[in-house]
Structure 1
């Protein structure tokens, strides 16, 4: 049985989608962020970065959301959430997962935690404004990718799509939010109707109403 240390609507959401979608035997272990338990000595023995999520697989702790997603997909290739080794789509899987994590998610983290990136609180509004533009630019790249594709990699859903849906939900408060982009909005509406996304979002009490457009 897998164990996923999670917090609702946190970076654990992508892994939660995958565990549910593949029907894997798992246990959800809530890490109370409000009580700062992700910084507790007990949790730090599993995840020295002190962040959520952490996955336990047969006693081995794995942290960082993309690494967890890749591991789950490769452990269960029959679900085809990662392209097969040697396929032309496989490098594109890693390309988009890296882009989502290193660009879109990274910019979102600066936007929502600007105080971590300055010693001058007066500069925070400028950081937020700059981040909003960078996030919109990243969303534009993804929107263009979806102009003629049902999913990020083409006609088949992958772990990248579940990861993107997680980040798109976080980006909703941005002025140029994901639902203001034509192709991305249509894609997110389709995903919001996916049984896995509906079920997991209901469990984590995440509203899908913003994606019900058009």
Structure 2
């Protein structure tokens, strides 16, 4: 059985979606960020980065949300969370990399400006700059989603799990994802997906804004 070390609304959300979509046995182990449990010696022995999530598969331990999602999907190809067609697989990797290395990274700067400057006077400027950068990025995603129900090939994939997680994080931006026409339609459709609904209910994540 898989064990996912998680915290609600954290980067563990995408792997949680993947586990549920694959219909494989798994259990959740909460890492209480309010108590800084991700920095405890016990957790650091599993994940030296001190970040969430971590996946344990018997004696194999894996961290980094994107890596966990890919590992699970490739171990269970019957779940079809990665396209099989080479061209569509290329599109899949393109968007997954954009979500993980670009949008997620920029969101981290927005949420934690203190990590990117030694001057507290710069915090507001960093946040304001990130608001603009992230709006531009979601505009790109919005254009891609015109007329689409899923990110890739009309197929529920890891990309959908990841994008929905990022959009939940971004709901406090001045220009949140729901203000983009095609992205909003996509998110409202995804919020009805049984996997998304079940996991969000388990993590007590409110989906009412997407109705």
Q: What TM-score do the two structures reach when normalised by structure 1?
A: 0.96
Q: Which residue of 2 aligns with 1:190?
A: 189
Shift of 1:98: 0.7
Gaps of 5+ in 2: none
Matched, 1:7 2:7: yes
Matched position secondary structure for 1:27: strand
Shift of 1:135: 0.6
Q: Which residue of 2 aligns with 1:129?
A: 128
Within 5 A, what are the aligned runs for 1:8-47?
8-47=8-47
Where in structure 1 do 4 or more consecutive aligned residues deviate above 2 Å? Answer: none
Give per-residue Cα distances to partners, 1:3-35, cap 9 Å, x unaligned. 100001100000111111111100100001111
Give per-residue Cα distances to partners, 1:88-138, cap 9 Å, x unaligned. 111111111110011111111110111111111111111000000011011
Alpha-carbon distance in structure 2 between the residues aligned to 1:156 and 1:19: 17
Q: Which residue of 2 aligns with 1:65?
A: 65
Alpha-carbon distance in structure 2 between the residues aligned to 1:101 and 1:191: 19
Alpha-carbon distance in structure 2 between the residues aligned to 1:76 and 1:159: 13
Alpha-carbon distance in structure 2 between the residues aligned to 1:40 and 1:200: 26
Matched position secondary structure for 2:3: strand
Shift of 1:141: 0.8
> Over aligned residue pairs, what C-alpha RMSD do you find?
0.9
Q: How many residues align?
A: 211
Shift of 1:149: 2.1
Matched position secondary structure for 1:171: helix
Q: What TM-score do the two structures reach when normalised by structure 2?
A: 0.98
Q: Which residue of 2 aligns with 1:165?
A: 164
Give per-residue Cα distances to partners, 1:180-211, cap 9 Å, x unaligned. 00000000000001111111111111001111
Q: Which residue of 2 aligns with 1:91?
A: 90
Gaps of 5+ in 1: none
